[in-house]
Chain A
Amino acid sequence: MHEKRLTILCGHYGTGKTNVAVNLALSMRQQGQPVTVADLDIVNPYFRTMDSADAFEHAGIRLICSRFANSNVDIPSLPPDLYAITDDKQTRMVLDIGGDDSGATVLGRLAPAILAEDSFEMWMVVNQYRPLTRDVPSTIEVMEEIAAAAGLPFTGVVNNSNLGEETTAAHVLATVDYAEAVAKAAGVPVVLTTADVGLTPELTGKVPNLFPLELQKNKPF
Chain B
Amino acid sequence: MAEKVLMKGNEAIAEAAICAGCRHYFGYPITPQTEIAAYMAKKMPKIGGCFLQAESEVAAINMVYGVAATGKRVMTSSSSPGISLKAEGLSYMAGADLPALIVNVQRGGPGLGGIQPSQSDYFQATRGGGHGDYRMLVLAPASVQEMASLTVKGFDLADKYRMTAMILADGTMGQMMEPVSLEFPEAEKVEKPWATTGTDMARPHNIVNSLFLQPDELERVNFERYERYAYIEANETMYEEYLMEDAEICVAAFGIASRVAKNAINEARKQGIKVGMIRPITLWPFPVAPFAAAADKVKSFISVELSMGQMIEDIKLATSCKKPVTLCNRAGGIIPSPEQVLEAIQNAAKNGGAE
Residues of A bordering B, CB below 8 Å: 13-14, 44-47, 72, 74, 127, 129-132, 134, 162-166, 220-221
B175 touches A46 (CB 8 A): yes
A129 to B259, CA, bound (A): 24
A155 to B6, CA, bound (A): 26
Q: Does B31 sit at the interface, judged by CB under 8 A?
A: yes
A45 touches B115 (CB 8 A): yes
Which residues of B160-178 have CB atoms within 8 Å of chain A's CB atoms?
171-172, 175-178
B179 touches A131 (CB 8 A): no
A164 neighbours in B (Cβ, 8 Å): 6, 177-179
- Are A220 and B6 CB-contacts (below 8 A) given A45-B31, A131-B11, A166-B179? no
Among listed B128-136, B239-247, B330-338, interface-contacting one: B330-338
A92 to B68, CA, bound (A): 56
Give the size range of B's interface with the partner: 20 to 34
- Are A163 and B4 CB-contacts (below 8 A) given A46-B175, A221-B335? yes
Shortest distance between the CB of B141 and any CB in chain A (Å): 13
- Are A220 and B338 CB-contacts (below 8 A) given A129-B6, A163-B4? yes
- Are A220 and B263 CB-contacts (below 8 A) given A46-B175, A164-B179? yes
Shortest distance between the CB of B263 and any CB in chain A (Å): 7
Shortest distance between the CB of A53 and any CB in chain B (Å): 17
Tell which of B32, B175, B256 touches A221, judged by Cβ atoms closer than 8 Å. B256
B256 touches A130 (CB 8 A): no
Residues of B bordering A, CB below 8 Å: 4-8, 11, 15, 31-32, 35, 39, 42, 108, 113-116, 171-172, 175-179, 256, 259-260, 263, 333, 335, 337-338
A134 touches B5 (CB 8 A): yes
A130 touches B116 (CB 8 A): no
B178 touches A131 (CB 8 A): no
A14 touches B32 (CB 8 A): no
A220 to B339, CA, bound (A): 9
A166 to B172, CA, bound (A): 19
Tell which of A45, A46, A74, A127 touches B6, judged by Cβ atoms closer than 8 Å. A127
Of all chain A residues, the one with the shortest Cβ separation from B262 is A221
A72 neighbours in B (Cβ, 8 Å): 108, 113-116, 333
Q: Apart from A14-B8, A221-B263, what are 15 other A-B pairs with CB-CB below 8 Å? A: A14-B7, A44-B175, A45-B115, A46-B32, A46-B171, A72-B108, A72-B116, A74-B31, A130-B5, A131-B11, A132-B39, A163-B4, A163-B179, A220-B338, A221-B256
